[in-house]
Chain A
Amino acid sequence: MPGRGLLVMDCGEFLKGYSDYSDGLRTPEQLRDFDSHLRECPTCARYHRVVRQGIDLFRQLPRPDASPDFLPRLRHRLYHIDDHTVLGSRLGGGAALVAMAAVGLLALVWLPFASRIPVEIELAPVAVTVPASSAEVPSLFSPGPFVTPVIYERMWVGGAVPTIWERRSGSEELFEPLVQTGSSAAENDPSR
């Protein structure tokens, strides 16, 4: 840095206090020191020049204009605030009073009933009897078949080959007879 030995302040001090200097917020003596540094130090002089020019350009930037509907829009918004305020002051007090009275009345009517109603309703248990196990009663969970081997045999021997599953309309594909008729029953006879 040229002429550094002659400078009253160094560049660090200059940069640290630059804003105050730029805004004239230092004592006249300090301002003189800054001026003197600027004269002697080309780097800080360049810095000062750049800041000044840049800020001048910044101040010259075009200011945005408000759109033509800015004021009508604002007026409209303010008008509605007034409207609500007036309505609120006219109706607000009365409406609040009416609402509070209604709630109070409702509470008065409801309270006697409310005290009688149990909070939790417990139903009486339902008594059921366990059905006796029977071969004729089909059960989904009992492992026994609809027709026990004994019955099956009895049926077979007796020659009567009943169809346990009665054919119902529409259920043919779903259910097949457990005891089949005719020759097919004979083919499936486990004793053969």
Chain B
Amino acid sequence: MPKSLAVQHAKGEPRSRLELKELNDAELVAEYLDGGRFAFQELVGRYHDRLLNFIYRTIGDRDRSEDLVQETFVRVYRHLHRFDPTKKFSTWIYTIASNLAKNELRNRSRNPMVLFQAIKKNWDADHRPLQWEDRSYAPDDLFRKRHLRAQVEKAVEELPEHHRVVFVLREMEGKTYEEISEITGVTLGTVKSRLNRARNKFAQIIAPMLE
């Protein structure tokens, strides 16, 4: 463990939440394994939004994404004692989430009913949640921007699953090639090739809309 608050802290004394915020992920894991009750909560706070976004962009179903994020944390909680502290915690937790997302997509392809339900949800604009409009935009701009966002979302959904995971991890989550390679369990060369193809395909889909 690197020199940090975790080393300086006297053993047996519970840390305040403020102190926990200053620890890095590995230190939080160590703190939790030493009996720090709130360390796990801090990890949940750091990752739940990010994981929700990653899984949502991968599988496209918000409610199911939330279930899978819960499942990710349950698995992390159960197996935290097995976590290798020499590795990056974020890579580990993203690997678990990515595997759950992959399984979800695999199950959907086996059960078309689930896919249908997922598509049916939000299929109509009337079913989408209402949002306050930003009045600083002119209606045309607002419409165009919304339309473009919807098209971009659709373009990402159209990418093949293994390309989409790599694309989301790189472009949305800002992961390095090495991290993506670890998370997805493929070689660095495969990551590069998939990312290149994903960008290429993405450009092909959205080009007519951006011209």
A residues adjacent to B (C-beta < 8 A) = 15-16, 18-20, 22-23, 25, 46-47, 49-51, 53-55, 57-61, 63-67, 70-71, 73-74, 77-78, 81
Contacts and interface: CB of A to CB of B under 8 A. Distances in A.
Contacts of B170: 23
B101 interface: no
Interface of B: 40, 44, 48-49, 52-53, 56-57, 62, 65-66, 69-70, 73-74, 77-78, 148-149, 152-153, 155-156, 170-172, 177, 192, 195-196, 199-200, 202-203, 206-207, 210
Contacts of A18: 196, 199-200
B171 A55 contact: yes
B49 A51 contact: no
A63 B55 CA distance: 11
A19 B192 contact: yes
A161 B97 CA distance: 98
A95 to B, nearest CB: 21
15 contacts: A18-B196, A23-B170, A47-B207, A51-B199, A54-B155, A55-B199, A57-B148, A58-B152, A61-B149, A64-B62, A64-B65, A74-B70, A74-B73, A77-B74, A78-B74
B196 A19 contact: yes
Given A18-B196, A58-B172, A73-B70, A66 B207 contact: no
Given A57-B152, A60-B149, A51 B202 contact: yes
Given A49-B210, A50-B203, A74-B74, 15 more contacts: A50-B210, A51-B199, A51-B203, A53-B210, A54-B155, A55-B199, A57-B149, A58-B172, A70-B48, A70-B69, A74-B70, A78-B73, A78-B77, A81-B77, A81-B78
Nearest to A85: B78
Contacts of B206: 50, 53-54
A65 B105 CA distance: 22
Contact of B203 (A47, A70, A71, A77): A47
Contacts of B52: 63-64, 66
Contacts of B65: 64
B152 A61 contact: yes
Nearest to B48: A66
B208 to A, nearest CB: 9
Nearest to B207: A50
Nearest to B156: A58
Given A19-B195, A78-B77, A64 B69 contact: no
B175 to A, nearest CB: 11
Contacts of A15: 196, 200
A67 B149 contact: no
A55 B148 CA distance: 12
Contacts of B73: 74, 78
Nearest to A25: B177
A110 B52 CA distance: 58
A117 B184 CA distance: 60
A61 B66 contact: no
Given A50-B203, A64-B52, A59 B149 contact: no
